[in-house]
Amino acid sequence: MIPRKKIIAGNWKMNKTQTEARILVEDLLREIGRFDEAEIVLCPPFTALAAVSELLNSVSNIRLGAQNLHEAASGAYTGEISAAMLRDLYVRYVIIGHSERRQYFHEDNATVNRKTKAALAAELRPIVCVGETLPERESDKWKNVLETQLVEGLVGFGDKELADIVLAYEPVWAIGTGKTASPAQAEEAHQWIRKVLATKFSPAESGAETFLLAALHHDGESHEETIDDKEDQQDVNEDVLEMQMPIHKGSSIAQAVMRGKRF
């Protein structure tokens, strides 16, 4: 299998107005130039998609992503957004099943499945997040949790669809808890994800490239050593860098992008 590029996806969450987003992206574009050693994906809030899309129109090394979508093509769904609406803004990626969507908006695996189908039908590339909470990790239920998320969230997909899905392992238990997922734990989780894919879906997926969802801290402090170690693990091939909140200094973001690390 030919290795894919590293994916560095910035999930801005509910941060940045349209004006602030423009400033941030302009800074980023100046800093990273023609850097193309990774697939860079920016996922601003919906209100800033059009502005960011306009700025990215003339560049080929950064893609636009969205933080969510509704599974329906249209209808009476107040406050929601459809795949077609995202495509019209030249969105190429969409995050599905993020732990915050699961926790705060009660999205279950069936919802993740429907949204993923809607994204693929619209030729959007889904970034499907899976991961266990702290109680699930500490009670040694993490394997069952990941298997259930994968089996129920990806039911009905064949090799063709699975090849277009980015699977991002999100160690929810290591977010805001003071705990850190060790390289060995990340390796073990990725091995288990591949095993589930191979046994429940297709043997061809045993070599599928899964991704580590790493959090960029609000304070911008450097935490590079854990990513360095994880990159050395055999089964952790790629990283999805999740920007929890865009840092104001474009150069700092650019350095993280070009190193392919969190900071």
- CB-based contacts of 49, cutoff 8 Å, min separation 6: 64, 66, 86, 89, 91
Does 76 map to a domain?
yes
Q: Quick one: pLDDT at residue 124?
A: 98
| 31 within 8 A of 247, measured Cβ to Cβ | no
Is 211 within a domain?
yes
In this structure, the dihedral spanned by the alpha carbons of residues 63, 89, 127 and 62, taken in order and rounded to 10 degrees, is: 10
Mean pLDDT calculated for residue range 219-240: 43
How high is the pLDDT of residue 237? 46
> Of the listed 39, 70, 71, 98, which one is catalytic?
98
Mean pLDDT value of segment 119-124: 97
Q: How far is CA 90 from CA 52, 62, 156, 172, in A?
A: 10, 12, 27, 30
Query: Under DSSP, is residue 39 helix (H, G, I), strand (E, B) or coil?
Result: strand
| pLDDT score for 20 | 93
Angle between helices 250-259 and 18-32 (to 10 degrees): 50
Residue-wise pLDDT for 58-78, tens only, equals: 999 899 999 999 999 999 999
Q: Which of 132, 170, 187, 205 is catalytic?
A: 170
Is 220 among the domain residues? yes
- Give the range of the structural domain holding residue 90, as residue numbers without chain letter: 6-259
Q: What is the number of structural domains in the chain? A: 1
For 149-208, what is each residue's pLDDT tens digit? 999 999 999 888 998 999 988 888 887 778 888 888 888 998 899 899 989 887 655 445
Q: Does the residue 90 lie in any domain?
A: yes
Mean pLDDT, the chain, whole residue set:
81
Q: What is the pLDDT of residue 256?
A: 52
Residue 109 maps to a domain: yes
In a domain, 148, yes or no: yes
Q: Bigger pLDDT: 207 or 132?
A: 132
Question: Given this model, what pLDDT does residue 210 score?
Answer: 56
Told to judge if 170 belongs to the known catalytic residues of this protein, a careful annotator would answer yes
Query: What does the alpha-carbon distance between residue 233 and residue 235 come to, in Å, rounded to a whole number?
Result: 6
> Is position 199 within any domain?
yes
Of 47 and 245, the structure prediction assigns the larger pLDDT to 47
CATH code, 107: 3.20.20.70
Annotated active-site residue 98? The verdict is: yes
The answer to whether residue 1 is domain-embedded is: no
